[in-house]
Amino acid sequence: MIDAPHRRDGVRIAALIHRVSGVGLALFLPVHFYVLGLALNDTAALDTFLNWTDNWAVKLAETGLVLLLSLHLFGGLRILALEFLPWTPRQKLFAALAASLAVFVSLGFFLSAGS
């Protein structure tokens, strides 16, 4: 009848984002390794693929990947700090900082990809 309101808490959402970004990266990695493998097995196919990636839609998708990666990285550092450093009541601040840093890094990637 009523959903679980505790799931709307900021640090709970930070944990969810950390988990979902990890799953996203896990789905991406096999494709990433397959393309890397083309460098050994089929360089012509790799060149064709790299030429195909040289457009804005792919850059935008790559920005999404960088966002996932940085969300997972900074979210992971947040959890390490939470569990291994003395407790601080500012966990929501750290979660917001991790998210802000991730957005900052991915925007930086997007701007540099365009230049």
The residues of the shown chain that bind other proteins, judged by CB under 8 A, are 1-7, 9, 11-12, 15, 79, 82-84, 87, 91
Q: Which is nearer to other proteins, 12 or 32 (CB)?
A: 12
Rg (CA), the chain: 18
Question: How many Cα atoms sit within 13 Å of 10 on the Cβ side?
Answer: 10
DSSP of 75-101, one letter per residue? HHHHHHHHHHSPP-S-HHHHHHHHHHH
Minimum separation from the CB atom of position 24 to other proteins (A): 18
Distances (CA, A) of 66 to 13, 25, 31, 78, 88: 20, 10, 15, 18, 29
In whole angstroms, the minimum distance from the beta carbon of 76 to other proteins comes to 12
In the bound state with other proteins, the residue whose beta carbon lies nearer, of 5 and 114, is 5
- Is the Cβ of residue 54 or residue 83 nearer to other proteins in the bound state? 83
State the nearest-atom distance from the C-beta of 16 to other proteins, in Å. Answer: 9
Q: Which is nearer to other proteins, 1 or 31 (CB)?
A: 1
Is there a contact between 106 and 63 (Cβ–Cβ < 8 Å)? Answer: yes
Q: How far is the CB of 92 from other proteins (least distance, A)?
A: 9
